[in-house]
Structure 1
């Protein structure tokens, strides 16, 4: 199973559409970790599972969190602002454990990162608009197989792989 993960596009419709169009036929699921700043019926979000971010001003359009079972994995998606992810990952790690997640996806900090802790893989795809700690605007393709989760970071404009950020986690 392959999952396209984006976040923090902050109203950029063309850039978001380009990334989704580039990968739509090769992924099974597309998620947006919040701060799309778009309306739920926007054509750019057609077929995309979206959570609400702190800059999504029309509240109650999107759920605050999504929990999906994907074969052997449980995916949990939230924006991250309710879990103080700009300061620490402790609250979101507690939530991941609470909901029985193997993979936790979040945004908010605009920092592209992935790591594993206590049997859970955490993924922040960075920002399609305003990246922090790097110059590239980023997104993730996550490949799930029986014993591994492969997290590949890509540059928004060209889709080029960013090898130094990408990682494979074994289960």
Structure 2
């Protein structure tokens, strides 16, 4: 199972179209963690699971989603609702309540990956307006690959190139 996670595209619809064209037929689940600044009825959302961010003012956007895929329970949200710029405590509590195995979120524009109490927490960074240590990459998204007992997270630049030094692999036994 392959999952593509993107966030904080801030009106850059072209990059989302590019990702769909580049990875079509290779991805089992598409996720946008908010701040697209596109209408909630945009045709792209027929491909992506999407939530609203603090810059998405269309009230039709859900605040959070819980998506079962394979053996995973994926919690999708925008991090501003859980104060992720402080720490992951509020988000971890919400994930635990939802019995999530994976949490995908945005907001900070900084890519990040953590594991807490058997749950994978992933912020793909901003594909259009990156910040922080990896801003020099020019925008990022992530692909999570689950195969048997292995879960691999690859961060990619806007043009789809893997940032190999950021690749992380977990044993599924570590992710409950």
With structure 2 as the length reference, what TM-score do the two structures score?
A: 0.91
The question of 1:159 aligning with 2:160 is answered yes
| Alignment match, 2:92 | 93
Partner deviation per Cα, 1:31-79 (whole Å, 9 max, x = no partner)? 10000100122233332110010100122x2111111111211111101
Of 145, 148, 152 in structure 2, the residue corresponding to residue 146 of structure 1 is: 148
Give the distance between the partners of 1:166 and 1:92, measured in 2 at CA: 23
Q: Mind listing any 5+ residue stretches in structure 2 that lack a counterpart?
A: none
For 1:31-110, list aligned pairs within 5 A.
31-59=31-59, 61-110=60-109
- Tell me the residue number matched to 1:17: 17
CA distance in structure 2 between the aligned counterparts of 1:147 and 1:117, rounded to whole angstroms: 18
Deviation at 1:140, TM superposition (A): 0.7
SS at match of 1:27: coil
Q: TM-score, normalised by structure 1?
A: 0.94
Partner of residue 119, structure 1 = 118
CA distance, structure 1, for counterparts of residue 83 and residue 24 of structure 2: 31
Contact 1:6-1:128 within 8 A present in 2 as well: yes
The question of whether the paired residues in 1 share the 8 Å contact of 2:144 and 2:154 is answered with yes
For 2:73 and 2:102, the matched residues in 1 are separated by 6
Contact 1:141-1:151 within 8 A present in 2 as well: yes
Backbone CA RMSD of aligned residues:
1.2
Q: Tell whether the 8 Å contact from 1:112 to 1:126 is kept in structure 2 after alignment.
A: yes
Task: Provide runs of 4+ in structure 1 moved above 6 Å.
Answer: none
Q: Structure 1 CA distance, aligned partners of 2:64 and 2:8?
A: 15
Say whether the 8 Å CA contact 2:40–2:58 is kept in structure 1.
no
Conserved? CA contact 1:8–1:107, under 8 Å: yes
Look up the match of 1:5. Answer: 5
